[in-house]
Chain A
Amino acid sequence: MTRAAAEPAKTEVAPVDAIDLRKEFEAVDIASVLAQLDKDLIGLVPVKTRLREIASLLLIERIRQKMALATTFPTLHMSFTGNPGTGKTTVALRMAGILHRLGFVRRGHVISVTRDDLVGQYIGHTAPKTKEILKKAMGGVLFIDEAYYLYRPENERDYGQEAIEILLQIMESQREDLVVILAGYGDRMEKFFQSNPGFRSRIAHHIDFPDYSDTELLAIAELMLDEQNYRFAPDARDAFVKYIAARKTQPLFSNARSIRNALDRIRLRQANRLVSTLDRILTSDDVMSIEAGDVLASRVFSGEATLEKRART
């Protein structure tokens, strides 16, 4: 306390030298935010690790503030890269809520935009358009999906560059007001960053979304079904494990998105099966449960057969 006495702080609260970390931790309620995330999102270890780090940083910054030490607002702009269906958009939409709860953004709304919303169609159209979007996103999160479309190297007179410049300027000067999240497929984002090195350096968090493993995909499927009040019958579960393995070998596999589409089709088949025999009493159990037949009727299994046939001929 001697230092505080020597140079009195301008705030009413005198800086303190020791702080109960646990009490601070509980005050910010980080634990519940992270627990919620763990529950809702399956896999995605790198993402969760990074969020935990950001949350810890916030906690330490708060404590530093109380101790009257120098605090700088952390750069929170992020870039999400990964294959289709790995949860980039889902996490980005959720991120605003998390950052809001952790106190990094003031309002916690998300403005989700693509190239169309930022880039104008004629000279002088882009700047006001981009600025308008940025103003709307202030105090929240600006989520730019498929960000690599902003830059079109094949067209020299493309207005995307102008939007990028404005974006970079605001990302630098108003870090406290706005968090920008870029998302896109890995290889194309890499190309985008190569042609816009300013972007790469202004983004603090480059998070790569890994592909899901088979068990994670199964867990995702069960979570999705649970949300819609469905469930697998035991043999249907085994069939779905086989389905995942088969679907993965086929082209255009897009992780969780493929799973969601598969579940939608399985629900269709289940409904069809139920409706085909009209003269009976349905229990809620019947309506909720998905049988192995619903899964096994999938084109993926017959597709496997045709592929083999094609390989033979």
Chain B
Amino acid sequence: MRVTQGCFSFLPDLTDAQITAQVQYCLDKGWAVNIEFTDDPHPRNTYWDMWGLPMFDLRDAAGIMKELAECRRVYGDRYIRISGFDSSHGWESVRISFIVNRPREEPGFRLDRQESNGRNIRYSTHAYAAGRPEGERYGGS
């Protein structure tokens, strides 16, 4: 099952040229662009691991694309996303975030239903991949 989160995730995967254009848009807006990766696809997993340091004061997307290539080389079997952080007053938050790399196989999620008091039902989702230890979930690196 294809994980959809962040911008553009219902579109076909972005090409590198398209990613470059999006990154350049972020830089032109003055946002700090970061690269993050994870192998826990649960939608509530908001804190992904960061690749290197946040990249402030860049003017051109080439530097970020170089880091992305490096990140893909090391964590090519995981989810990688790019986010743009707007530090201007009033925003001070992530303005854009999109997935730029995903595992070859995405096994999807299991839905658990728990019968509780009365007729209430509690739902929880488990990523099939999360059954294995971190780092080995998508074929290992």
Contacts and interface: CB of A to CB of B under 8 A. Distances in A.
B58 A136 contact: yes
Contacts of A106: 60, 62
Contacts of A138: 58-63, 66
B92 interface: no
Interface residues of A, number: 14
A138 B53 CA distance: 17
A222 interface: no
A135 interface: yes
B63 A134 contact: yes
B67 interface: yes
A140 interface: yes
A88 interface: no
Kindly state the interface size class of chain B when it binds its partner.
10 to 19
Contact of A136 (B52, B59, B61): B59
Contacts of B67: 135
B35 to A, nearest CB: 12
Contacts of B66: 135, 138, 174
A265 interface: no
A231 interface: no
B59 A140 contact: yes
B55 interface: yes
A138 B66 CA distance: 10
A139 B59 CA distance: 7
B62 A139 contact: yes
B89 to A, nearest CB: 24
A139 B23 CA distance: 13
B57 interface: yes
A135 B63 CA distance: 4
Interface string B34-58: 0000000000000000001101011
B62 A174 contact: yes
Interface in A101-134: 106-107, 109, 128, 132, 134
Nearest to B28: A107
B82 to A, nearest CB: 14
Given A128-B52, A138-B66, 12 more contacts: A107-B59, A135-B55, A135-B63, A135-B66, A135-B67, A136-B57, A136-B58, A136-B63, A139-B59, A140-B59, A140-B60, A174-B66
8 contacts: A106-B62, A107-B60, A135-B67, A136-B57, A138-B58, A138-B60, A140-B59, A177-B62
6 cross-chain pairs, A with B, having the tightest CB-CB distances, nearest first: A139-B60, A135-B63, A177-B62, A138-B62, A138-B63, A138-B60
Interface of A: 106-107, 109, 128, 132, 134-136, 138-140, 174, 177-178
